[in-house]
Amino acid sequence: MKKLSILLGSLMLTIGVVSCEQPKTENNEVNTEKTVSTDAPAESAGNPADVKTDGGTFQMPGLKYGYADLEKSIDAKTMEVHYSKHFLGYANKLNEAIKGTPNESKSIEEIMKTLDLKNGALRNNGGGYYNHTMYFATMSPNGGGQPTGALADAINKDFGSFDELKNKLADAGAKQFGSGWAWLVVGKDGKLAVGSTANQDNPLMPGQSISGTPIFGIDVWEHAYYLRYQNKRPDYITAFFDVVDWNVVGENFAKATAK
Ligand SMILES: [Fe+2]
């Protein structure tokens, strides 16, 4: 009997130790080290070309790839919902917000620059439209690698190296509290800078902690990564770099510095 008690005691102790050793995240949530499997064939995601607004000044820009084409970094379902639900919602609500106002005839950039921050509908949906237009345009199944040409030169000059730029962007995205964006901008002084904004704000809007012409933005809202990465936003940001189309970012840089 005594032996049985000792055996049971040892067993309980072992279970307790194993339980206590479960890894935890910074937020004290149990980290199971597992992510949702994405090995299953992509669900059939519709066609991005079928996604249309209800009409108005601003339309959906379309995608140069299918929802499932960025699987190495972002699963098809996330891409589909992000583009056909979230982005479309911003576009429709932006069109509603500007209907019958002088903003109907302005470009989205002008609307952002002249924004009254107290206009919540225009701030959230105009920002959502501008930000997502840039986000989806700067991704590609053939992305990754490194910038070239004038953009590469500017990155080396202003950050020291491309790796340092990536570190700064990853840091800005990881540290943005709650939903928001990490940005690479060309400042008024012509230099590149990195920062972040909350919600759907962006560096074109007045009153932001980073100001300038955005040439690249990372969406760090949970809707951009949660299905595969759950709470691991830094892992999403790391994987996101594998689908960045630096040629498009380079074109954005050329436009921003040609002014
Ligand atoms: Fe988003």
From ligand 1's centre to the CA of 81, what distance in Å?
10
- Ligand 1 (single-atom ion) residues, CB below 5 Å: 219, 221, 224
Asked, for residue 31, whether it belongs to a domain, the answer is no
From ligand 1's centre to the CA of 82, what distance in Å?
6
Res. 9: pLDDT tops 70: no
Residue range 128-157, pLDDT digits in tens = 999 999 999 999 999 999 999 999 999 999
Res. 44: pLDDT tops 70: no
Asked, for residue 34, whether it belongs to a domain, the answer is no
From ligand 1's centre to the CA of 222, what distance in Å?
8
Asked, for residue 196, whether it belongs to a domain, the answer is yes
Identify whether the C-beta of residue 132 lies closer than 8 Å to the C-beta of residue 87.
Answer: yes
From ligand 1's centre to the CA of 133, what distance in Å?
10
Measure the CA angle with vertex 186, ends 257 and 82; round to 5°: 110
Q: H or E stretch including 217?
A: strand 213-219
From ligand 1's centre to the CA of 86, what distance in Å?
6
From ligand 1's centre to the CA of 13, what distance in Å?
47
Res. 126: pLDDT tops 90: yes
Beta strands in 116-212 (DSSP E): 180-186, 192-198
Rounded CA-CA distance 147/155 in Å is: 9
Domain that residue 131 falls in? 73-259
Res. 39: pLDDT tops 50: no
User: Would the pTM count as exceeding 0.85?
Assistant: no
Rounded CA-CA distance 207/198 in Å is: 12
Asked, for residue 33, whether it belongs to a domain, the answer is no
From ligand 1's centre to the CA of 181, what distance in Å?
9
Helix (H, G, I), strand (E, B) or coil at 226: helix
More confident residue, 213 or 32: 213
Q: Tokens representing 3?
A: 């032996």
From ligand 1's centre to the CA of 94, what distance in Å?
15
Asked, for residue 64, whether it belongs to a domain, the answer is no
From ligand 1's centre to the CA of 79, what distance in Å?
10
Q: In this structure, which long-range contacts are made by residues 54-59, counting pairs with CB atoms below 8 Å and at least 24 apart in sequence?
A: 54/92, 54/95, 55/95, 56/91, 56/92, 56/94, 56/95, 56/96, 56/98, 56/99, 57/95, 57/98, 57/104, 57/105, 58/91, 58/94, 58/95, 58/108, 58/129, 59/91
From ligand 1's centre to the CA of 4, what distance in Å?
59
Q: How many Å separate Cα 202 from the centre of its chain?
A: 12
φ and ψ of 198, to 5 deg: -90, 155
Under the banding of pLDDT at 50, 70 and 90, the label for residue 189 is very high
pLDDT of residue 52: 97
| DSSP annotation of 86 | I
Q: Taking all residues of the chain, what is their mean pLDDT, rounded to a whole number?
A: 87
Q: Tokens representing 158?
A: 């202003």
Asked, for residue 125, whether it belongs to a domain, the answer is yes
From ligand 1's centre to the CA of 105, what distance in Å?
25
Under the banding of pLDDT at 50, 70 and 90, the label for residue 259 is low
Question: CA–CA distance from 212 to each of 163, 194, 220, 222, 258 (Å)?
Answer: 22, 10, 19, 25, 14
From ligand 1's centre to the CA of 129, what distance in Å?
9
**Beta carbons within 8 Å of 67's beta carbon, 6+ residues apart:** 42, 45, 46, 48, 76, 77, 79, 80, 83
pLDDT of residue 253: 98
Asked, for residue 37, whether it belongs to a domain, the answer is no
From ligand 1's centre to the CA of 197, what distance in Å?
13
Rounded CA-CA distance 144/224 in Å is: 18
Percent over 90 (pLDDT), the chain: 82
CATH number at residue 137: 3.55.40.20
The residues with which 59 forms a beta bridge, in sequence order, are none
Of 99, 103, 95, the C-alpha closest to 129 is: 95
| Domain count of the fold of the chain | 1
Asked, for residue 256, whether it belongs to a domain, the answer is yes
From ligand 1's centre to the CA of 132, what distance in Å?
6
From ligand 1's centre to the CA of 174, what distance in Å?
15
